[in-house]
Chains A and B, each alone.
Chain A
Amino acid sequence: MAAGDPSQLLPAREQMAFTLGFHIVLVPFGVAFTFLMLVANWRGLRHGDEQALRLARRWSHVSGVLFAVGAVSGTVLSFELGLLWPGLMGRFGAAYGIPFAVEGLFFFLEAVFVAIYIYGWDRMRPWAHFWTGVPVVLSGIGGTLSVVAANAWMNQPAGFVLRNGRVVDVRPLGVIFNRAFWYEALHMLLAAYMVAGFTVAGVYAVGQLRGRRDRLHRLGLVIPLTVAAIATPLQIFVGDVAARAVYQNEPAKFAAIEMLPQTGTHVPEILGGALVNGQERFGIPIPDGASLLSGFSPNTRILGLEAIPPGLRPPDRLVTTVHLAFDAMVGIGFALLALSAWFALVAWRRRRPPENRWFLRCTAVSGVLTVVALECGWIATEVGRQPWTVVGYLLTRDAVTTSGNVWLLFTATLMLYAAVGYGTFFALRLLRRRWRAEDDRPGGGEQALDDGVPYGPSHARETAAADGQA
């Protein structure tokens, strides 16, 4: 925070970061967890696998809770765009808003079909019910692409004409398909699949470590981990392409990521470290690494922070944050790649997933690590854009609101989100406890109250028959 910044800038940024950071953890569950749910559902129907069906049904309960919290916390973000950043919305809404309008469509479809899918277990025909889940997954993908299009636009604004500070002409497709769109959107989409995959697998890994090694828990680990293990290598490829695009299109952000004070060639890749008084300290250098990665040659020239005009140069602390967040994200990415390879290799050689305790421990940790990587990725791209909100056009300090007192709103939001976070945790724990009691009961699903084997003979057919008579 530089001297002369408006007083609301700090709380507004903190609030946006906090609420976005909260919401983004829920996003993978709306976008990708529903895909895992459908995989289990498909498997259950195709192979008559009751355990897979039961898993799909349980997952639909979980996604019901998470989708609700995600929907409301997402709405708060829409309010905040106006409440905190009227300078952005008032001046650029005509362009920046378009991807959000498209996203609104997908959000509609997702909300409708999520409801049909979650509440349709008992009364719909099995395959018809399965197909109502497909639009959920598709609109999840569409929604992610649209929201990220808006974010990518802030990094690489395009598709509009500015005259006297007003947007006077807009090319909607130019706004959506800006230069950062494809790599940012694919990167986030794969991240969603990784987070959902590793987190869910992690939950069942913990279950197995605690001795619940039945088929349900094995399936609960294999389905998400397979999806995550496919997404991880793709993600590393997309991430690599994205980093090079940032090198070419967003040199200021790239300088912060590489924590590079002076422009030069033969730039080493610095692992860890910090920027102190404009100089890199404490990091581990890999000679020529950054130059090689960004241009495939040690002679590749990379712009340093000095190339940014002093008034627009991010302070040391911010640069360190971006750099460390990026390093953590990449480091976790490779750790997850190793875990994926381990899983794939053993599954391929022995025709069954690894079951030793170390593998399960690593899988359990991987769930937490992907969430950390997700947050780090967002810190790298969002903090890395500062001091700009719309790169080259609008400074964050000019976008921030001057009305009211954001600290009050922020305090209220913090307390409320703490309660909501606790409530979510508590609700999910209740669900788990209920299912555990069900599993432990002899006869399992047959006597289950509201969570029996779906489409099973117990009550679905009875009600179907009753409906037929009615």
Chain B
Amino acid sequence: MSTFAGVVLFTGVLVYAVLGGADYGAGFWDLTAGGAERGRGPRSLVDASLAPVWEANHVWLVFILVMLWTGFPVAFAAIMTTLYIPLGLAALGIVIRGSGFAFRKVMVRTSQQRVTGAAFAVSSVLTPFFLGTIAGGIASGRVPTAGHGDAVGSWLNPTSLLGGVLAVLACAFVAAVFLTAEARRRQNTDLETWFRRRSLGAAVATGAFTLVGIAVLHADSPRLFHELLSRGLPLVVVAALCGLASVTLIRRAAPRLLQALAVVAVASVVAGWGVAQYPYLLGTHLSLGEAAAPTPTLWALTVVAAAALLLVVPAMALLFVLVERGRLEGH
């Protein structure tokens, strides 16, 4: 039962990593798009493709938090009392990002758009970094069961930094592929080229950094390293293959296939982390079973998850289909 709740929770992490990641990454490209004139094209594509979906994608984060504090309250308290610095910064980053994005859509003058846009874009890079360091802190076992762990070392350590940088890179990669596909769908060849180049760059950077990461894990988190390359190996291979495929096919493949490849690449990396860490929720000292809430609570969460499967998943599918068919435009 606790394993099942753990899977539900981790599914939330996975979906958020992909969907939320694509949104954060869009902010990365928004930030690096250059001056107001030069960056107009990419920015307007970012704006148009993000606007209808980012709030729905963002809810997955709330889903994760709620599942964690209800299903595994002890672990939630431990994480919150240890990693409070990156968590607090991420929370503030989320506010800046969401409101900056919403405000920019309304602003008309370039100077106003620049301020709100910069708020959106900078926080889009910083927030996934902090979230990545949190993941690193948890994965490397730096959150004690009783909480109140090292406030600095728990997120400023090799594995956390790896997590942070990898999160930013992976977000940028998924977003670039998504936006390439989006530009192709809109038959905008200039933008397609613009984002295709960046997809390649991001893919190379992410791939190279992952290799570095493996060395870091070997030194800093031996258990994670070991499990990742034994139990998690198939996922690692899938991730590498999909990453390579998405890059080689980027000129020809249908947009939907490209998106699928990028999604699977990132999702398998995250899933690899989950598989490597199982059955522990925190390091090797708190297992899912020990951290879990009483069974009736887990049942309640199961009912909620089933309802989400019946209601939320079709609703989100509808949203994405409408977006893809260009039914949600204007304004």
Contact = CB atoms under 8 A, between A and B. Distances in A.
A115 B319 contact: yes
A91 interface: yes
A123 interface: yes
Contacts of B326: 123
A420 B52 CA distance: 21
B107 A430 contact: yes
Contacts of A102: 304
A422 B173 CA distance: 34
A79 B84 CA distance: 9
A109 B328 contact: no
B59 A108 contact: yes
A360 interface: no
Contact of A78 (B66, B101, B301): B66
Nearest to A427: B106
Contact of B327 (A113, A123, A171, A172): A123
A202 interface: no
A97 B62 CA distance: 12
Given A94-B293, A115-B319, A427-B106, A404 B94 contact: no
A123 B329 contact: yes
A72 B66 contact: no
B61 interface: yes
A64 B99 CA distance: 11
Interface string B70-105: 110110111111101101101110111111111100
A92 B296 contact: no
Nearest to B78: A90
B116 A71 contact: no
B217 interface: no
B190 interface: no
Given A92-B73, A104-B59, A120-B322, A416 B92 contact: yes
B312 A123 contact: no
A122 B70 contact: no
Contact of A101 (B78, B85, B304): B304
Interface in A415-453: 416-417, 420, 423-424, 426-427, 430-431, 434, 450-451
Nearest to A171: B296
Nearest to B304: A101
B208 interface: no
Contact of B59 (A107, A171, A401, A434): A107
Given A79-B65, A98-B70, A116-B318, A450 B330 contact: yes
A26 to B, nearest CB: 11
Interface in B102-149: 102-103, 106-108, 116, 147-148
B84 A112 contact: no
Contacts of B297: 94-95, 97-98, 170, 172
Contact of A420 (B71, B85, B95): B95
Interface residues of A, number: 78
Nearest to A450: B331
Contacts of A424: 99, 103
Given A105-B312, A172-B296, A404 B55 contact: no
Interface residues of B, number: 72
Given A69-B102, A82-B65, A94 B56 contact: no
A196 to B, nearest CB: 19
Which among B81, B95, B101, B328 has the highest number of chain A CB atoms within 10 Å? B95
B312 A94 contact: no
Interface string A113-131: 1111011111110000000
Contact of A427 (B76, B103, B307, B331): B103
A404 B85 contact: yes
A183 interface: no
B143 to A, nearest CB: 12
A344 interface: no
Contacts of A95: 297
Interface in B273-331: 293-294, 296-297, 299-301, 304, 307-308, 311-312, 315-316, 318-319, 322, 326-331
Contact of A172 (B106, B299, B316): B299
A412 interface: yes
Contact of A97 (B56, B66, B82, B101): B66
A86 B327 contact: no
Given A83-B91, A89-B80, A413-B92, A112 B102 contact: no
Interface in A2-20: none
Contacts of B92: 76, 412-413, 416
Given A119-B52, A123-B327, 8 more contacts: A64-B102, A100-B66, A108-B316, A115-B53, A116-B318, A402-B81, A403-B148, A403-B151
18 contacts: A65-B102, A65-B106, A69-B102, A78-B65, A86-B77, A91-B73, A92-B73, A94-B73, A94-B297, A97-B70, A97-B71, A112-B315, A115-B51, A115-B55, A116-B52, A119-B51, A409-B88, A451-B331
